[in-house]
Amino acid sequence: MSGKLTETHLHAVVVPFPAQGHVNPLMNFAELLAMRGFFITFVPTEWIDQRLVKAASTDLVARDNQAKERVSKFRFLSIPDGLPPDHGRTAQLGDLFLSTKCLGPALESLLTAPDTSVPPITCIVSDSFLSCTAEVAKNLGVPRVVFWTSCTTLAIMQANAHSLLSEGHIPVKEEDLKSNEKLITCLPRKIPPIRPTDIVSFYREKHVSESIYSCFLYESRIHNIADYVLVNTFEELEGGKEAQMGLSVNGCPALAIGPLSLPNFLEGRNSMYSMWEEDKTCLQWLDAQPQGSVLYVSFGSIAVKSEIQLHELALGLEACGYPFLWVLRSDIAEGKPMELPEGFKDRTKDRALIVSWTEQLKVLSHPSLGGFLTHNGWNSTLEAISMGVPMIGWPYFHDQFLDCRFAKDI
């Protein structure tokens, strides 16, 4: 990719859903495409872009710039999400999903602005939860590549949500959540039978957000408007090649291409973007711990806990007697910082480190790590599997109950 870009170069527009767990896998995919000769236009929302820039340290930016220059050229653009600056975004997911449905005109205007310095657009790689890209791809006359940041089973479940609705499986009734006996087998291909508790939490009968329920049903129809389908998983994990074809509703190719973070990480390329400033002291702290001794505790970028739950967790970590590395985001306690039990830090200072954010792959790959207490978001689950780290699951919402059960049972 050295020299002048020409019309013969492939050009992928990559559009992530505006959340940390969606930006990272799509950035990893963009990096891998760039290494294979693509020019990349990466388009997050302005709010995401500002958070990423603010969190990035100087050495991280320098390292990223060197990586991009080495493998190809990237163009970073952004679009407004239409929400006020002080809106909670991922803390108010109903509003966020509604706002993403309206991103199409801004995205199309951005991509059709004259720019002779880049090749013509070859395709749009769209997060599966961005229905607005279907119309944009159609108007631009380019293929739409639907990218799932979840496991295959969740993707098939969501793409067939209207079948689940017609069969009476959603909305999920409270009595079904209390029973482990009911198995749902109406989904296509060789995926394991699912239980009512495995279905996306936003489809539960008493879920607090009617807007998210409606948005998910709407998105389910648009998921299947695709020319290609990609899933961040690997075939051996979920039913082989045939399972992926359950996402090929219209006969388009459907491929498992994960774990996407692994090749970049193993080859020393930094393709992980964080919305929080990463604490690099934790790696030195891990170096000083015995091999296989540390419990890593992290609940990802969105999951929250009550103050009572966090207080009990702190007491449990204190009582366990093992070294632990605990990630406490500034909004972990239902949108607020956590107040630790009185004297907790002093009592555990010889075997504990508490940070606001980490470079998770580096932590999971560290020889001192012995286990991972996780919310079982798909990225965290896949990364733990990739690094061979045992998991203790404490799911919060969405697909995390399914990921947790499969990590244990399948």
In 46-199, where do the E strands start and end?
74-76, 123-127, 144-148
- Tokens matching residue 408: 């244990």
Hey, what amino acid is at 109?
A: S
Q: Which residues pair with 148 in a beta bridge?
A: 231
Which residue is catalytic, options 22, 169, 366, 375?
Answer: 22
In whole angstroms, give the CA distance from residue 179 to residue 202: 18
Hey, what amino acid is at 205?
A: E
Report the candidate in 271, 258, 259, 262 with the shortest Cα–Cα distance to residue 70. 271
In 51-163, where do the E strands start and end?
74-76, 123-127, 144-148
Taking a C-beta distance cutoff of 8 angstroms, is the pair 172, 203 a contact? yes
- Tokens matching residue 174: 């409270």
- Tokens matching residue 200: 């996306």
CA torsion sign, 128 to 131 to 136 to 139? positive
Is 22 a catalytic site residue?
Answer: yes
Is 127 a catalytic site residue?
Answer: yes
Which residue is catalytic, options 64, 81, 95, 127?
Answer: 127
Give the catalytic positions in this structure.
22, 127
